[in-house]
Amino acid sequence: MTETTPGWLTSDDLESARARMPILYVEAVPVRVDDSGEVTSIGLLLRIGSEGTVSRTLVAGRVMHHERVRDALLRHLEKDLGPVALPRVPSSLQPFTVAEYFPTQGITPFHDPRQHAVSLAYIVPVSGDCRPRQDALDLVWLSPQEAASESVQSEMPGGQGVLLKQALAHVGCLS
């Protein structure tokens, strides 16, 4: 099947590109904040993995050719959290970290068996009604302490638990 949406590759072209060069992604840690800006809860998506297991994930996706990073971030937030999540993307698009996913385990804490991917990671406050869409089963809001727990971390594939802990540290939620 040929993809007709501008900026997308066909399945064969994407597989070929993944085998030859890093692919750019954005990842978002959706958070709820109180009136003083303190993070009160973290939103994690529940998904069915390729092996049929339930996992917790962050909002994530590719940046299309000729798409601004801000637009990609908003597109994936809407795709995963719904059209009325009301994300507040920071005016400065400085990510809290850059994660490199490799198909070979052990190079970094991040692993994606399909490809070498470079991901710009953001913490994004959301204030609206979040209703997961696409392939997400649910969105669960956890306290920062719950999100940092070993049990939650163990349910996050590919090193996303490490990324979540980095986000929690970045906003001062890890002691």
Pairing of strands 117-125, 23-33: parallel
Percent over 70 (pLDDT), the chain: 95
Give 32-41 pLDDT, tens digit per residue: 999 999 999 9
7: confidence class by pLDDT, cuts 50, 70, 90: low
Provide the mean pLDDT of the chain: 91
CATH code: domain of residue 27: 3.90.79.10
> Is residue 44 in a domain?
yes
What is the Cα–Cα distance from 140 to 46, expressed in whole angstroms?
Answer: 7
Residue 154 above 70 pLDDT? yes
What is the Cα–Cα distance from 143 to 125, expressed in whole angstroms?
Answer: 14
> Is residue 141 in a domain?
yes
Instruction: Show the domain range for 123.
Output: 23-170
Residues in the chain: 175
The total of structural domains in the chain comes to 1
Return the pLDDT at 1: 44
What is the Cα–Cα distance from 29 to 6, expressed in whole angstroms?
Answer: 27
> Is residue 18 in a domain?
no
> Is residue 126 in a domain?
yes
> Is residue 16 in a domain?
no
Region 125-153: mean pLDDT is: 93
Give 42-68 pLDDT, tens digit per residue: 999 999 877 788 899 999 999 998 999
Composition of the chain by helix, strand, coil, percent to 5: 25, 30, 45
Q: What global pTM score does this model have? A: 0.89
Determine contact, residues 79/133, Cβ cutoff 8 Å: yes
> Is residue 14 in a domain?
no
